[in-house]
Amino acid sequence: MSNLNRRSFLSLALGALLAGGLVVGCNSGGGTDNANKGPEAPAGAEGNKATGDTIKVGLVASLNGDLRPWGLDSDKGVKVAVDEINKAGGINGKKIELMVEDSNSSPEQGKSATEKLISQGAVVVLGEVASGITAQMANACTEKGVPIVAIGATRDDITDIGPNVFRVCYQDRLQGPVMAKFAFDELGLRNVALMTDKKQPYSTGLSGSFRAYFEKMGGKIIDEQFYESGQTQFNAQLTNLKAKNPDGIFLSGYFNEVGPIVKQADQVGLKNVKYMGGDGWDSKEILATGGKAIEGSFFCNHYNDKEDRPEVKSFLEKFQAMHGGLPGTTMGALAFDAAAVVIDALKRCPSDDVSSKTLAAALHETDGFRGVSGDITFKGHGGNPPKRALVVELTKDGQVFRKAYEVTDFPDL
């Protein structure tokens, strides 16, 4: 998601090269879903320990800035989970004390917010959605020996930063191939162009992962045009694409620019083109800025609130009861899962030693936790749970579920 950041996906080399940039939920870098291979925390980095009658849990979210739609839902989703456990009496008599800081959609502010939470005694930090922000947060957490559970940071190498970096979302190593396979098999596309935000590692990585898998399946990438987040006029790039006559365009950036791009594409005469993207599209704002032109487009997402699963129905009921409406993005559900999986692990910590160290150990043993966004297993996978991915279609009324893909559908990844 523009000062965004969520994810990138090429190789570890590219991930390392771009690690300092922003990314959402979004990003890759060549990580693996095996156990973490990140550096150990510095000697003496013991993290924090719960004292008194509370357990301090930190949350860093983009309450302001370009990523605000995700940040607000992250805040609300976590609060649903915390409210539920506290009303039930807490954990071994200790209530969760949630401490929230604003990243303002900035990696630098995300890091300083994390450092503040750790200094105030947080035994764990939740967040972020943007991978670029999360990377800076993970550095701060690893330095102090505090585990971090990312909400929507999909960049593959995020969990390589430290031994106790976790996420509840899928990785870009899955997201790009999912959309490539959907484009090739379900939409019958063979000549696809890419439009990439070169300022965002999430976008460059996701374009790269889509390209690699689409070409592997036999499709052709006939052109790639570039722009930068914050840009508002795209006529030059779109005119170039029109000359190549693509049957599909993969837009790997965030909703802020994607909506206007598609609307302007229609204005320059790009017709009979299928538009596709990643989870950076996940905001109601994309329908407002893309207008009718973006209806009938497809993107990858983490879950859909129309799914007929008890976890989804229960979550939506709780969310609506607490906040008076439904979440605007999937980050509400992922944030709830991030908090819920931490709460589950806290229950398995020794009652006389609830600390960053014991919590990290319990998180690594998490196996088959039933989340709103799907089952979460860290055991044997480091911080990267094998998660399924959904393809949804944008309609005038919102997102409509079209197809689900499991990690096992891509044995060659």
Six-digit token string for 73: 């839902």
Extract the tokens encoding 246: 């693509």
What is the predicted pLDDT for the residue at 334?
98
Residue 10 has a pLDDT of: 30
Provide φ and ψ at 391, rounded to 5°: -105, 130
pLDDT at 6: 38
Q: Are 295 and 395 in contact (CB under 8 A)?
A: yes
Q: Report domain 54-171+312-387's class.
A: alpha beta
pTM here is: 0.87
Residue 40: the pLDDT is 57
Domains 54-171+312-387 and 173-304+390-409 share a fold: yes
pLDDT tens-place string over residues 113-122: 999 999 999 9
Whether the Cβ atoms of residue 146 and residue 122 lie closer than 8 Å to each other: yes
pLDDT tens-digit profile of 21-74?
344 455 433 333 333 334 455 666 889 999 999 999 999 999 999 899 999 999
Question: pLDDT > 90: what percent of the chain?
Answer: 83
Q: Give the C-alpha separation, 285 to 11, whole Å.
A: 31
- Residue that has been written with the tokens 């200094």 in this structure: 119
Coil, strand or helix: which one is 181? helix
Angle formed by the axes of helices 255-267 and 235-244, to 10°? 60
What is the pLDDT at residue 300?
98
Phi then psi for 29, rounded to 5 degrees? Answer: 165, 5
Determine contact, residues 70/29, Cβ cutoff 8 Å: no
Three-state SS at 159: helix
Mean pLDDT of all residues in 253-263: 95
Model confidence at 200, pLDDT cuts 50, 70, 90, reads confident
CA nearest neighbour of 92 among 61, 55, 62: 55
Residue 367 Cα to chain centre, angstroms? 21
Over residues 268-307, the pLDDT tens digits come to 999 999 999 999 999 999 999 999 999 999 999 999 988 8
Is residue 5 over pLDDT 80? no
Sequential DSSP letters for 98-112: EEEEE-TT-HHHHHH
Please tell me the predicted confidence (pLDDT) of residue 376: 98
Question: Going by C-beta distance under 8 Å and a sequence separation of 6 or more, which residues neighbour residue 314?
Answer: none
pLDDT, position 201: 78
Domain parsing of the chain, residue ranges: 54-171+312-387, 173-304+390-409
Q: Is the pLDDT of residue 394 over 60?
A: yes
**Which amino acid is it at 149?**
V
pLDDT > 70? residue 358: yes
Q: In 3D, which of 334, 221, 325, 213 has the Cα closest to residue 282?
A: 334
Mean pLDDT, the chain, whole residue set = 90
Which residues lie across from 395 on neighbouring strands?
398
* Angle, in degrees to the nearest 10, between helices 201-217 and 131-144: 110
Which tokens hold the place of 20?
A: 């300092």
Residue 129 has pLDDT above 60, yes or no: yes
3-state secondary structure of 351: coil
Tokens for 102? 């604003």
Q: Are 131 and 327 in contact (CB under 8 A)?
A: no
Please count the CA atoms within 13 angstroms of the CA of 118 that sit on its side-chain side.
Answer: 23
Q: Phi then psi for 269, rounded to 5 degrees?
A: 100, 15
Q: Show the DSSP H helices in 268-330 as ranges.
A: 285-290, 310-323
Cα–Cα distance measured from residue 411 to residue 315, given in angstroms and rounded to the nearest whole number: 32
Q: What is the pLDDT at residue 17? A: 31
Residues near 246 by beta carbon (within 8 Å), at least 6 away in sequence: 191, 192, 193, 222, 223, 273
Q: Where are the beta strands (DSSP E) in 320-377?
A: 369-371, 374-376
In the chain, pLDDT over 70 holds for what percent of residues? 89
Sign of the torsion formed by the C-alpha atoms of 198, 200, 202 and 205: positive
Average pLDDT, integer, range 154-166: 94
- End-to-end Cα spacing for the chain: 24
Phi, psi of 330 (to 5 degrees): -70, -10
CATH label, 173-304+390-409, candidates 3.30.559.10, 3.30.70.1350, 3.40.50.2300, 3.90.870.40: 3.40.50.2300
